[in-house]
Amino acid sequence: MTRNTLLSLTAAGLLLTGATAMADTTSPQTGTRIKQLPKIIVNDTANKQTVQDDDADLSPELQAILAEAEATENAE
Amino acid sequence: MRRAIFFALIFIAISQSIGAQAEQNYLFDGQLPSGTAAEHPLWTVVLQRHADQQAQLSACLDQLAACPRYLRGWQRIVKRAHGLNDHAKLVLINRFFNKRRYVDDVIDPVTQLGTWLTLSDFLEHGGDCEDFAIAKYFTLRELGFGPERLRILSAWDKKARDYHAILAVNIDGRAHFLENDNTVLHGRQLRPYAFLYAVNEDHWWYHSDGHRDQANL
């Protein structure tokens, strides 16, 4: 790898980094700053809850707090 | 030749370091907002309704007897979480809310928009992903997290090929994502999401990567 090749790679890397940062605040289509909030329905059908109630992976302190909350919620 | 390889390795190391840093701080890296929170119609309704319900939430936090049944467990969680460190707070809040009831979103036939619920309404009725994120957001606000550390993130899940919303929290400059499957992810652990936009009480931020991804669907 020659020195020129190395310099070219460095320049390309810097340009790529700059382009990525700019894309966060500008429209990919027009290059102008986005003013309109995208209309998106967050429906999440593929992420429905399949969470287990088991808290055994948590610390004893967090398990105790969750158990207390559940008991308080269910108390008559 | 050896010197060229040395410089190439240095370049790769620096590039990877910049990439990792950018990924971890992606939501909280100083990007200018794209607009005010008032421009988001559903979120504006939630903010107003939450403000209207704040007196009841505060009374409940002061005294358990003032809580309706659906707020009792939440009251205990907030009271006990105050003594925890930030990461433990995230794990606890995430776990507590992920046990709540999942209810499909109701789409308005006119606006074609879904429904966003307040913390109180979600605890009473259940909700879908953005409602989980909103409830976690306002609970962390009760625990002293400033709005500048919180973002409700709308994303395209490339793996599930569906929209999703999660809460992102800044702890020590690193974005943590409170997932509905009980994980609290950060940086490179994050699932293959393309970010669409993020919102907090003050502003919203456009994220172009999700829109580029959608264009290729």
The confidence score (pLDDT) of residue B84 equals 97
Provide the pLDDT confidence category of residue A11 given band limits of 50, 70 and 90.
Answer: low
**Are B102 and A48 within 8 A, CB to CB?**
yes
- The answer, for B91 touching chain A at a CB cutoff of 8 Å, is yes
The confidence score (pLDDT) of residue B107 equals 79
Substitution target in B3, B31, B80, B191 with the highest count of A β-carbons within 10 Å is B80
The confidence score (pLDDT) of residue B30 equals 78
What confidence tens digit (pLDDT) does each residue in B111-157 have?
Answer: 777 889 999 999 999 999 999 999 999 999 999 999 999 999 998 88
Average pLDDT over every residue of B67-87: 97
Which of A21, A24, A49 is opposite residue B98, by nearest beta carbon?
A49
**Are A42 and B105 within 8 A, CB to CB?**
yes
Is the model's pLDDT at B60 over the cut of 50?
yes
Using an 8 Å Cβ cutoff, are B9 and B151 in contact?
Answer: no
Contacts of B64 in chain A (CB under 8 A): 72
pTM of the model: 0.77
The confidence score (pLDDT) of residue A8 equals 57
Percent of chain B with pLDDT over 90: 57
Interface of B with A in 10-49 (CB under 8 A): 11, 15, 18, 22, 31-32, 34-35, 39-40
Using an 8 Å Cβ cutoff, are B64 and B72 in contact?
Answer: yes
- The answer, for A10 touching chain B at a CB cutoff of 8 Å, is yes
Provide the pLDDT confidence category of residue B158 given band limits of 50, 70 and 90.
Answer: confident
Average pLDDT over every residue of A41-64: 73
The two tokens of residue B14 are: 């620096």
ipTM above 0.85, yes or no: no
Provide the pLDDT confidence category of residue B173 given band limits of 50, 70 and 90.
Answer: confident
Mean pLDDT score of chain A:
63
- The answer, for A26 touching chain B at a CB cutoff of 8 Å, is yes
Using an 8 Å Cβ cutoff, are B174 and B186 in contact?
Answer: yes
Substitution target in B27, B67, B72 with the highest count of A β-carbons within 10 Å is B72
Q: Whole-angstrom Cα distance, residue A42 to residue B163?
A: 5
Using an 8 Å Cβ cutoff, are B116 and B45 in contact?
Answer: yes
**Are A25 and B180 within 8 A, CB to CB?**
no
The two tokens of residue B4 are: 């060229």
- The answer, for B216 touching chain A at a CB cutoff of 8 Å, is no
Residue with tokens 């370049």: B11
Kindly report the length of chain A.
76
